[in-house]
Copies of this chain bind each other. A is one copy, B any other.
Amino acid sequence: MKKRSYQQYCPLATGLDIIGQRWTLLIVRELLIAPKRYKALLENLPGMGTNLLAERLKTLMNLGVIEQIVQLTPCVSKVYQLTDLGQELEKPVLALTQWGSQFLKKKPPKFLFRPEWVLIVIKAAFNPQKAAYLSICCEWHVDGLIFYIRVDEGRLEIKLGAAENPVATVKTDGPSFAALVLGESRLKDIIVKGAFKITGSGLAVVRMMQILCIQDSHTQSEIA
C-alpha cells in the first residue's frame, strides 16, 4: 500500500506522483467528459484490472481529486466526479491531447474508439481567434451519442444532451466524425459518402467545422 514517489521538490514530479501512474489520467479524462459510475469507467478502460480501478479511485478520493456523489438524474446512482481540484486537470489533459493527436493518424483501426474522446480533441484544438464574431449552435448525433457544440463570442461550449435552439442537427458515425475533426477527411468527401446527414443550416455546419478541425501548428501560429 505504500506509494512509489519521485521524492523531488518539484511541482511536476509532485503532480506526477499523484496522476502519473498508469490509467490515472485516463480516469480523469472519462470524468472530464461526464461523471460516471464504476462500471462505466471499467467499460471505457478495457485492459484495466478492476482491483486497480478501485485502488486508483480510492487514492484519488483521498487526495481530493475526485469525489463520489449520489446522482439523481437520469436515475439514482452512485457516480464519481471531479472536484474543483480535479477539474483543474483539464488544462494539462488538453495540452497532452493536443500533443498526442499528431501521433494518432497512423494508428490501427482495431483500437477502442469512443466518440466522446473526440470532444476532448475539439476542446484541445479550439482557437478563440478563429471563432471571433461567430455564433453557432449545432446538435450532434454520433453513434448514438447526443451532444451539442455552441460557439459564441469566441467561446466554446460542449455539453452532452440535446441543444435548446440548434441551427443545425447532424447525424454521423464515430469514425467519420473523428476523421473530420482530426483533419484526415474533408467535410465534402464525408457528405458525398452519405455518412453525414444535416438537418437545418448546412452553411452553419461548414462554418463550425472550419473552426473545430485540427490545424497544423504552422497554421495556428500564423493566426496568433
Chain A interface (Cβ < 8 Å from any Cβ of B): 4, 6-16, 18, 20, 22, 25-26, 29, 46-47, 85, 88-89, 91-104, 107, 109-114, 117, 120-121, 124, 178, 217
Does B7 lie within 8 Å of A124, measured CB to CB?
no
Does B10 lie within 8 Å of A114, measured CB to CB?
yes
Does A18 lie within 8 Å of B103, measured CB to CB?
yes
**A31–B4 alpha-carbon span in the complex (Å):** 23
**Which residues of chain B are near A16, meaning CB under 8 Å?**
25-26, 96, 100
Q: Which of B4, B20, B85 contacts A25 (CB 8 A)?
A: B20
Does B15 lie within 8 Å of A96, measured CB to CB?
yes
**Which residues of chain B are near A114, meaning CB under 8 Å?**
10
For the complex of A and B, list the 5 residue pairs with the smallest distance between their C-beta atoms, beginning with the closest. Answer: A15-B100, A11-B101, A11-B100, A92-B95, A9-B111
Does B14 lie within 8 Å of A104, measured CB to CB?
yes
Q: Which of B7, B12, B96, B112 contacts A12 (CB 8 A)?
A: B96
Min C-beta distance of A187 to chain B, whole Å: 20
Q: Which of B4, B14, B98, B112 contacts A11 (CB 8 A)?
A: B98
Give the one of A10, A89, A99, A113 with max B CB within 10 A: A10
**Which residues of chain B are near A100, meaning CB under 8 Å?**
11-16, 18
**Which residues of chain B are near A89, meaning CB under 8 Å?**
99
Does A9 lie within 8 Å of B88, measured CB to CB?
no
29 examples of A-B residue contacts, CB within 8 angstroms:
A6-B26, A6-B47, A7-B110, A8-B26, A8-B112, A8-B117, A9-B104, A9-B109, A9-B111, A9-B112, A9-B113, A10-B117, A11-B98, A11-B99, A11-B100, A11-B103, A11-B120, A11-B124, A12-B96, A12-B100, A13-B26, A14-B101, A14-B103, A14-B104, A15-B100, A89-B99, A91-B95, A92-B96, A92-B99
